A and B are shown apart, each in its own frame.
Chain A
Amino acid sequence: MPFIPHTEHDVKEMLATIGVAKLENLFDEIPDSLRVKNLPAIPASLTEMELARLMRQRAALDSGMLCFMGAGAYEHHIPAAVWDIASRGEFLTAYTPYQAEASQGTLQLLYEYQTMMASLMGLDVSNASLYEGGSAAAEAILMAARSHRKHKTYRVLIPRALHPYYRDVIKTIVGQQDIIQLIEVPFDAATGQTQLSAMEKDLHDEVTAVVIPQPNFFGVLEDADAMTDWAHAHGAIAIGVVNPMAMALLKPPGQWGKKGADIACGEGQPLGVPLASGGPYYGFLCCKRDFVRQLPGRIVGRTVDKEGKQGFVLTLQAREQHIRRAKATSNICTNQGLLVTASTIYMSLLGPEGLRQVAEACYLNAQYLKKKLEILHGVEVVFHSPCFHEIVVRLSKPVDKILRLLANDKIQAGFNLAPIYPELGECLLICVTETKTEADIEWFVKCLAQVLAMNSSTIKNIECAK
């Protein structure tokens, strides 16, 4: 069904039918004191030519860098076919699918996405996506709380090694509800893994949920089996917050421990979504069948019409606010349709085998980088445990200055951990994906070595943005 804007003639006709002289008259009810006459803070409009030039200038500031930064958003090669297909009008400007008979294309695609995601996570159900990884984690925690109605206070264990932005988002979304206590679990200074056993002595009451990142923010692989079993032994729900790309190589949440994790969520960006200066991305949320009625967001179901022909619909809508308002599982009433479209096409093109090969290439590149860095003077690999595609190194010089110097060499060398994890000291989180060649890695190491060899006073004088 095409959606075409009204012409001036259409508008005149409609106004005449309802007996209104001008379009402005429809806003007569709004008191004059509430009307905005002009907006002085907003600059005058630009022509297409001026705007295109401005955006090119802005883009040039960031472009041409060799990217070794991860920290939650990852550079992967996206086959040209993905956005060629996702940019088709039928996908790019499809309307929101509440009218099933007019949205079968969109709904089928979402159903395929859900099927792939559930399969990748080793779980039964997936929703049609959320905004991004952080809010997905918050929704997972709220799901766990709702599923444990017996608890008077909900106690949720959150590893310090979980992405700091996710922890912030969780605090913001969940922190408004006094009955939910967020308890931080420390990580081991030597391995970088979360130490659940450290919690035993402090836990006198029930635990509602345990959040298990995989890999964690440091790129380190957690002992997900042990953490899942620990959660279940304490009557808690196990929530995996995972990198979906890593799940093509590692054991997925549905197979963790004896019973499998109950809920899995995370950031879908690695699967076919470009970095795009931070977004838009999408959050995924999957669970065991038992929890499906607590799953927030849209869920697409497959059914048959009265003639027995297959069709797709939004289903289990009593979870949503347009049916149950205050009792809804969440206030979300949308999904990231276009990004999910790109991800579905990406996963279809690569298939499970292709996805595994990409993940493996990332892992092997990280191992190669680790070997090269280990022998560098002024660099110390901090955690000696298995990792996916990110590693943490401690530098002999201030990280912010090193990053500035390497940026002059057109290298985005990584994410500065010092401000967020002061206990680690001058540490850098470096990521290597399949997009880097051996030559890229060797160039990175060479530039880092050169910068570290500069004398201290030179480095001290480097200006860094605050």
Chain B
Amino acid sequence: MNNSIPKKLKYSRTHEWVRQDDDVLTIGITDHAQTMLGDLVYVELPEPESNVETGHECAVVESVKAAADVYSPVSGEVIEINEALLESPQLINEDPYGKGWLFRVKPFESEIAEDVAKLLTADQYTKQVASEAH
């Protein structure tokens, strides 16, 4: 069973993906993550206008069998959250890189370069997922 890992995105070791559009970053969890979690039933998103910090827990996704923390891959201000997930958390299972996006961040100027440099490419993330398989 192959989970998709789109080439144009960046990834974190904790299974989040990042898409950069100019100075806005969109964040979600990967196809691998949603497969491991199973059917999602609830999502707790960060407050708009709050700040998130690299590596710190910023959201929670809850499935029928587990509740998992989502760690922010970047530092910045939350400018938008995907409200559709409050009613339809299963969008994450159906379309983790599209309709299942979690929130959007305006990164802090001073930290953006450092944050992005630490992210994994699609190839690096593919290797990591393979090494985690047991």
Contact = CB atoms under 8 A, between A and B. Distances in A.
Interface of A: 149-150, 293, 318, 323-324, 327
Interface of B: 42, 44, 47, 60, 62, 66-67, 69
A318 B67 contact: yes
Contact of B66 (A149, A293, A323): A323
A293 B42 CA distance: 10
A303 to B, nearest CB: 12
Contacts of A327: 60, 67, 69
Contact of A150 (B44, B47, B62): B47
Given A293-B42, A318-B62, A149 B47 contact: yes
Nearest to A319: B67
Nearest to A328: B67
A324 B42 CA distance: 14
Given A149-B47, A323-B67, 12 more contacts: A150-B47, A293-B42, A293-B44, A318-B42, A318-B62, A318-B66, A318-B67, A323-B66, A324-B67, A327-B60, A327-B67, A327-B69
- The 6 A-B residue pairs whose C-beta atoms are closest, nearest first, are A318-B67, A318-B62, A324-B67, A323-B67, A150-B47, A323-B66
Contacts of B44: 293
Nearest to A293: B42
A149 B62 CA distance: 19
B111 to A, nearest CB: 23
A149 B42 CA distance: 18
A327 B68 CA distance: 10
A293 B69 CA distance: 16
- What is the predominant secondary structure among interface residues of chain A facing chain B? helix
Contacts of B66: 318, 323
14 contacts: A149-B47, A150-B47, A293-B42, A293-B44, A318-B42, A318-B62, A318-B66, A318-B67, A323-B66, A323-B67, A324-B67, A327-B60, A327-B67, A327-B69
Contacts of B47: 149-150
Contacts of B42: 293, 318
A323 B62 CA distance: 10
A175 B62 CA distance: 30
Contacts of A149: 47
A293 B60 CA distance: 12
A196 B44 CA distance: 34
Nearest to B66: A323
Contacts of A324: 67
B10 to A, nearest CB: 27
A291 to B, nearest CB: 13
B75 to A, nearest CB: 19
A315 to B, nearest CB: 10
Contacts of B69: 327
A77 B120 CA distance: 69
Contacts of A323: 66-67
Contacts of B67: 318, 323-324, 327
B77 to A, nearest CB: 15
A50 B102 CA distance: 68
A222 to B, nearest CB: 33
Nearest to A149: B47
Q: Could you say which of A150, A293, A318, A323 has the most chain B C-beta atoms within 10 Å of its C-beta?
A: A318
Nearest to B44: A293
A145 to B, nearest CB: 15
A327 B66 CA distance: 12
Nearest to A324: B67
B25 to A, nearest CB: 23
A149 B60 CA distance: 14
Contacts of B60: 327
A10 B42 CA distance: 46
A327 B69 CA distance: 10
A323 to B, nearest CB: 6
A306 to B, nearest CB: 14
Nearest to A325: B67
Q: Could you say which of B42, B44, B66, B67 has the most chain A C-beta atoms within 10 Å of its C-beta?
A: B67
A235 to B, nearest CB: 15
A323 B69 CA distance: 12
Nearest to A323: B67
Contacts of A293: 42, 44
Contacts of A150: 47
B61 to A, nearest CB: 10
A439 B69 CA distance: 65
A324 B69 CA distance: 10
A323 B64 CA distance: 11
Nearest to B46: A149
Nearest to B50: A150
A48 B99 CA distance: 70
A258 B42 CA distance: 30
Nearest to A327: B67
A167 B44 CA distance: 32
B41 to A, nearest CB: 9
Contacts of B62: 318
A290 to B, nearest CB: 12
B86 to A, nearest CB: 12
A323 B68 CA distance: 10
B129 to A, nearest CB: 25
B48 to A, nearest CB: 11
A358 B66 CA distance: 46
A402 B31 CA distance: 75
A293 to B, nearest CB: 7
B72 to A, nearest CB: 16
